Amino acid sequence: AQSVAQPEDQVNVAEGNPLTVKCTYSVSGNPYLFWYVQYPNRGLQFLLKYITGDNLVKGSYGFEAEFNKSQTSFHLKKPSALVSDSALYFCAVRDTRWGSGGSNYKLTFGKGTLLTVNP
């Protein structure tokens, strides 16, 4: 079965510093990977995805993620953190358990990493 792991429950960084939120994955076949962000008592917002192509994926709000096949990682990064980036971040992988043809699937999520950016 596909799975993702977020090894850090919490990450604290100072405003203006670079941030990294880690994610590792385990899949059979090609990985389809995603990052989402959740603010308190809200739904998840899509940030970016890796399907194929360049290992550095750029997404919303200045975030990017680096796909590393040899390390099976998909870490989320931002060069300069903002206090408003403080939120819960989820890594997810596409799980095609149910279907053929890639059209019938679910997303399997990590447990989330709480990012706090201090002023």
Partner 1 sequence: DGGITQSPKYLFRKEGQNVTLSCEQNLNHDAMYWYRQDPGQGLRLIYYSQIVNDFQKGDIAEGYSVSREKKESFPLTVTSAQKNPTAFYLCASRIQGNTEAFFGQGTRLTVV
Residues lying near partner 1 in the complex (CB under 8 A) are found at 9, 32, 34, 36, 41-46, 49, 51, 90, 94, 98-99, 103-104, 106-107, 109-112
| Cβ-based nearer residue to partner 1, 72 or 96 | 96
Q: How far is the CB of 46 from partner 1 (least distance, A)?
A: 5
Q: How far is the CB of 20 from partner 1 (least distance, A)?
A: 19
| Cβ-based nearer residue to partner 1, 17 or 45 | 45
Q: How far is the CB of 111 from partner 1 (least distance, A)?
A: 4
One-character DSSP codes across the chain: --EEE---SEEEEETTS-EEE--EEE-SSS--EEEEEE-TTS-EEEEEEE-SS-SEEE-GGG-EEEEETTTTEEEEEESS--GGG-EEEEEEEEE-SS-STT-S-EEEE---EEEEEE-
| Cβ-based nearer residue to partner 1, 79 or 97 | 97
